[in-house]
Structure 1
Amino acid sequence: MHQNPRPDPPATPGELMDQLARVAAAYYRHFAAAASGHGLTLMQGKTLSLLTRPRSMRALAGLLSCDASNVTGIVDRLEGRGLVRREPDPVDRRVKNIALTDQGEHTVRLIRADLMSGLTALERFSDQDRTALGALLDRAFPDTAAPSA
């Protein structure tokens, strides 16, 4: 007599949190390696990747979860390499926004390509699987969800 194996019980919230921690650690190891390939630290690479639009130093500090004084050093080094520029905020000229230069945009594209080359499993997902994963991540982390079009 052949018995069907019992399906694994669903993961507990704690087990899912552990899995997310492992995934995040693996992602940041890969991100750090991609950034390093372009002569950047992990934090410099993360900063560049967050500049999808000009952002204030305060906004960058919040997104990077670090002190504004740390962001100043990161931005100084990126500016020295010609990857970002400081520009006055159009609303409050006392505030300096940080924006990518053309070279910075190019570097972000290269880092992103390096990241995607190491995450080929995402490309093998069906459209339905990618939609489902995106929806689950948005539900789990609503503060990170992409704005609706």
Structure 2
Amino acid sequence: MPKPTDETTKEVIGLFAAINRRYAQESEAAATAHELTPLQAKALLATQEPCPMRHIADHLHAEPSNVTAIIDRLEQRGLVERHPDPGDRRVKLAAATTAGHAVIADLRARMPFAAAPLDRLDTRQRATLRELLQLMLEDP
């Protein structure tokens, strides 16, 4: 039988939800300013340096086929370009164009919380938070 939820647990869950909401609202507003979806903006941010499409899929927690469609749209807008990896021509690299880098800079400027949500925590606090979150995810 599950234990009843205490007030502290309810408050912590509410704080997780508030952090997620703030991150999502800020990300969506920044993306909307450039007529992008939040997922397109996140993909564009991942292309600041040339990277394999697989890396973008991992970053977005998405299937590679879905990432191809997202990168297609960004490429059509002139924000990203694709080219073969010189080290392995079977791998496609996606990289932001000059226009893409300008949008990336503006997205970052519009997302101060999303870009650095842990800024108010010192190194010790960040390590403690990481350990606590990892503990929550461990199998019982």
Q: Is the Cα contact below 8 Å between 2:83 and 2:92 reproduced in 1?
A: yes
1:22 & 1:122 partners in 2: Cα distance? 14
| Structure 1 residue ranges (4+ consecutive) displaced by more than 2 angstroms after TM superposition | 14-22, 116-119, 129-142
- Tell which structure's C-alpha radius of gyration is larger: 1
Structure 2 counterpart of 1:50, one-letter code:
A
Aligned residues: 128
Which one of the candidate residues 43, 67, 70 is aligned to 2:66?
70
Cα gap change, 1:101 to 1:122, in 2 (>3 Å)? same
2:68 pairs with 1:82 = no
Query: Where does structure 2 lack aligned partners over 5 or more consecutive residues?
Result: 1-7, 135-140
CA–CA distance in structure 2, aligned partners of residues 137 and 99 of structure 1:
33
| Corresponding position: 1:40 with 2:36 | yes
The TM-score normalised by the length of structure 2 is 0.74
Q: Distance in 1 between matches of 2:48 and 2:128?
A: 24
Q: Choose between structure 1 and 2 for higher RCO, CA contacts under 8 A separated by at least 6 residues.
A: 2
Distance in 2 separating the partners of 1:51 and 1:139? 30
Q: Cα distance 1:28–1:96, how it changes in 2: closer, same or farther (>3 A)?
A: same
Higher strand share: 2
SS state at 2:95 partner: strand
Match of 1:53 in 2: 49
SS at the partner of 1:95?
strand
Instruction: Report the counterpart of residue 7 of structure 1 in structure 2.
Output: none
Separation (CA, whole Å) in 2 of partners of 1:20 and 1:60: 25
Matched residue type, 1:21? A
Q: Secondary structure at the match of 1:28?
A: helix
CA distance in structure 2 between the aligned counterparts of 1:90 and 1:15, rounded to whole angstroms: 51
Please give the residue correspondences for 1:57-136 in structure 2 after superposition, counting only pairs within 5 Å: 57-116=53-112, 125=120, 129-132=121-124, 134-136=126-128
TM-score under structure 1 length normalisation? 0.70
Structure 1 unaligned regions, length at least 5: 1-10, 143-149
Same amino acid, percent of matched pairs = 39
